[in-house]
Chain A
Amino acid sequence: KAGVTQTPRYLIKTRGQQVTLSCSPISGHRSVSWYQQTPGQGLQFLFEYFSETQRNKGNFPGRFSGRQFSNSRSEMNVSTLELGDSALYLCASSLEAEGTEAFFGQGTRLTVV
């Protein structure tokens, strides 16, 4: 069974640009969550999608958005990039929405210059 796949693995962008990250969950998993990981803040919840609907949203500005497709694949988008957006972006998939083990992808390392 394939794990959670995130693309791309590494990305370098310039301030002001926008970026789209992709996550393919484990087959059969309907819940996809996104997290931002930085040395100072640790792992911070961005949002969660379940059956193509956003179920939860963290405390991030509106520049951060996402969506989920009918095949459960998810994308997140960050517009008007800032230096502080440099981070490891992790996607986690789980079978159900609540109280089940979440499996993480390898992450996308975004560097904003």
Chain B
Amino acid sequence: GQNIDQPTEMTATEGAIVQINCTYQTSGFNGLFWYQQHAGEAPTFLSYNVLDGLEEKGRFSSFLSRSKGYSYLLLKELQMKDSASYLCAVNVYNQGGKLIFGQGTELSVKP
């Protein structure tokens, strides 16, 4: 089977750092995506990890360990506008563009 787990919700303070974890159990793992979704809006692409290691993009970084079936999204210098749902999604080998999503982590940034 295929299973993706991430915390349901998290709270952090403006200016702080937060790490959102995602664990997955899938056969034929191809790569892992992170998306951000504000309420009432479409998910927007944040990062895509295929190989082990850390990918950094400005305030956002994403890490992948294929052997552990684990990824995290790191958000630095949190801003109020970062309050959103963060979705972890896995692409499986030989299943085209199909993405298997976790339930999403609702992040609330407090002043």
The 0/1 profile, CB within 8 Å of A marked 1, for residues 85-111 of chain B is 001010101111111111110000000
Q: Residue B63 at the A interface, CB < 8 A? A: no
Residues of A within 8 A of B99 (CB): 33, 35, 43, 45, 92, 102
Q: How many A-B residue pairs have CB under 8 A?
A: 74
Residues of B within 8 A of A44 (CB): 101
Number of chain B residues close to chain A: CB under 8 A: 26
The 0/1 profile, CB within 8 Å of A marked 1, for residues 30-58 of chain B is 11010100000111110010100000000
Known: A43-B101, A56-B98, A92-B97. A98 touches B42 (CB 8 A): no
- Contact (Cβ within 8 A) B97 A102: yes
**What separation, in Å, do the CA atoms of A13 and B98 have in the docked complex?**
28
Q: Residue A104 at the B interface, CB < 8 A? A: yes
**What separation, in Å, do the CA atoms of A90 and B43 have in the docked complex?**
9
B47, chain A: closest CB distance, angstroms: 9
**What separation, in Å, do the CA atoms of A80 and B35 have in the docked complex?**
32
Residues of A within 8 A of B93 (CB): 98
- Contact (Cβ within 8 A) A98 B101: no
